[in-house]
């Protein structure tokens, strides 16, 4: 379900080959954007920018874009915010991947960021995706494993949130606001005695609302696109429908296990051009409404319900057409 026959990852390599880029030659972002605009106009500029981060070996923010440690994403070395050159494995520092367990214990990345990386990090770390999904992803994962509990290390590893101190900070805030418990205990993932995080169920679901667990990877069929005006809106059912759609998309295009946080999964599918930006934003909106309802125990009013209905209608209409 990609827009073109090749992924943006592969098209980046086509750009290098067709341009005859030589070792040490400087590449400008505007030239890359112009090349894509001329040949692949349906690919959005934001998607191209995200792949430039993903495929730059010295960009710390690449870990937020499902970077592969096999080397297939190691194409560029970022010189500054607009210029790149080809990655030179013989002389450049080691590429930044998800840090290892040993490196987590030492609280450091696989390589020190450069000044250019720092500028890039400032512009990307404050994005809506980063600020929203770190907290939501932790809550969604703890919800998925409830009543089990994870330590900060395992949350950091499974959700690819780096550095792990970010998890610690968010965990403390969530505990202060009454959304989670932090206490000494056995982590359900690593089985070690640590400070563990567990969800406080503010608004337990009714039996009819229980959703499919994310890791069950359900398959779905097309659903009607029309929502009747007088039909009750069930935000849990809407969220379950989104989970099913996203896992069907993921299973078709990926062999690895999907992210267990639905927000992280939506963003990953969007960044890989498997989910249109509009529908991805509608899914994130619905998940946000559901999270407020469940984690903050806030009843959805008429305006929030209308937003949820309209967002779900947009998603359903797209999904029905995509199945044809």
User: Sign of torsion, CA 275 281 282 286?
Assistant: positive
- Listed residue (64, 87, 93) closest to 75, CA to CA: 87
Identify the pLDDT of residue 259.
83
Residue found by looking up tokens 């069930």 in the block:
234
Identify the pLDDT of residue 62.
84
Q: What span, in angstroms and rounded, lies between the C-alpha atoms of 128 and 98?
A: 21
- Listed residue (10, 15, 21, 59) closest to 33, CA to CA: 15
Q: What span, in angstroms and rounded, lies between the C-alpha atoms of 206 and 77?
A: 52
Identify the pLDDT of residue 46.
85
What pLDDT, in 10s, does the model give residues 150-193? 999 999 888 888 888 889 989 998 888 888 999 999 999 999 99
* DSSP helix/strand/coil, 262: helix
Identify the pLDDT of residue 210.
41
Identify the pLDDT of residue 228.
35
Element (H, E) at 119: helix 115-125
- Tokens at residue 190, please? 């690593």
Q: What span, in angstroms and rounded, lies between the C-alpha atoms of 235 and 125?
A: 29
Domains in the chain: boundaries: 8-124, 128-199, 207-322
CB 315 within 8 A of CB 244: no
Q: What span, in angstroms and rounded, lies between the C-alpha atoms of 40 and 232?
A: 42
Task: Give the pairing of strands 150-151 and 27-28.
Answer: unpaired
The half-sphere exposure of 80 on its side-chain side, counting CA atoms within 13 A, is 4
* DSSP helix/strand/coil, 271: helix
Residue found by looking up tokens 């950091």 in the block:
156
The CATH architecture of the domain made up of 128-199 is Orthogonal Bundle (1.10)
- Listed residue (309, 242, 315, 249) closest to 277, CA to CA: 315
188: left (phi over 0), alpha (psi -120 to 50) or beta: alpha
Q: How many CB atoms lie within 10 A of CB 45?
A: 11
Q: How far is residue 313 CA from its own chain's centroid?
A: 23
Q: What span, in angstroms and rounded, lies between the C-alpha atoms of 143 and 165?
A: 21
Q: How many CB atoms lie within 10 A of CB 7?
A: 15
Residue found by looking up tokens 């849990």 in the block:
236
pLDDT in tens, the chain (324 residues): 467 888 899 999 999 999 999 999 999 999 999 999 999 999 988 889 889 999 999 888 787 777 888 888 999 999 987 899 999 999 988 898 764 333 333 433 333 333 333 333 333 333 334 445 688 889 988 988 888 999 999 998 888 888 888 899 899 988 888 889 999 999 999 999 999 999 987 654 443 344 444 443 333 334 443 333 335 789 999 999 999 999 999 999 888 888 888 888 898 898 888 899 999 999 999 998 998 888 888 888 888 999 999 999 999 999 999 887
- Tokens at residue 179, please? 């959304």
Identify the pLDDT of residue 107.
34
């Amino acid at each position: 379900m990609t827009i073109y026959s090749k992924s943006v990852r592969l098209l980046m390599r086509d750009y290098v080959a067709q341009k005859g880029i030589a070792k040490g030659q400087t590449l400008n972002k505007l030239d890359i954007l112009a090349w894509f605009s001329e040949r692949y106009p349906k690919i959005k500029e934001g998607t191209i920018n995200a792949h430039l981060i993903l495929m730059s070996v010295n960009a710390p923010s690449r870990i937020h874009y499902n970077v592969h440690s096999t080397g297939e994403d190691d194409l560029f070395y970022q010189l500054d915010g607009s210029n790149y050159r080809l990655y030179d494995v013989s002389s450049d520092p080691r590429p930044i991947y998800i840090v290892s367990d040993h490196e987590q214990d030492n609280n450091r990345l696989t390589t020190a960021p450069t000044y250019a990386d720092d500028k890039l990090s400032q512009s990307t770390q404050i994005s809506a995706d980063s600020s929203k999904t770190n907290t939501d992803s932790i809550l969604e994962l703890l919800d998925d494993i409830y009543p089990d509990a994870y330590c900060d290390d395992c949350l950091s590893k499974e959700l690819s949130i780096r550095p792990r101190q970010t998890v610690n900070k968010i965990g403390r805030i969530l505990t202060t606001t009454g959304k989670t418990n932090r206490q000494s205990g056995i982590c359900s993932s690593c089985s070690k005695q640590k400070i563990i995080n567990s969800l406080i169920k503010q608004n337990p679901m009714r039996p009819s609302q229980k959703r499919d667990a994310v890791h069950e990877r359900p398959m779905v069929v097309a659903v009607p696109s029309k929502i009747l005006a007088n039909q009750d809106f069930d935000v849990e059912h809407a969220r379950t429908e989104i989970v099913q759609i996203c896992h069907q998309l993921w299973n078709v295009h990926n062999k690895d296990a999907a992210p267990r946080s639905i927000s992280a999964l939506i963003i990953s599918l969007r960044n890989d051009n498997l989910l249109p930006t509009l529908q991805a934003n509608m899914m994130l909106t619905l998940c946000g409404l559901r999270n407020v309802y469940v984690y903050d125990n806030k009843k959805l009013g008429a305006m929030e319900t209308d937003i949820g209905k309209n967002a779900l209608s947009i998603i359903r209409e797209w999904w029905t057409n995509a199945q044809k």
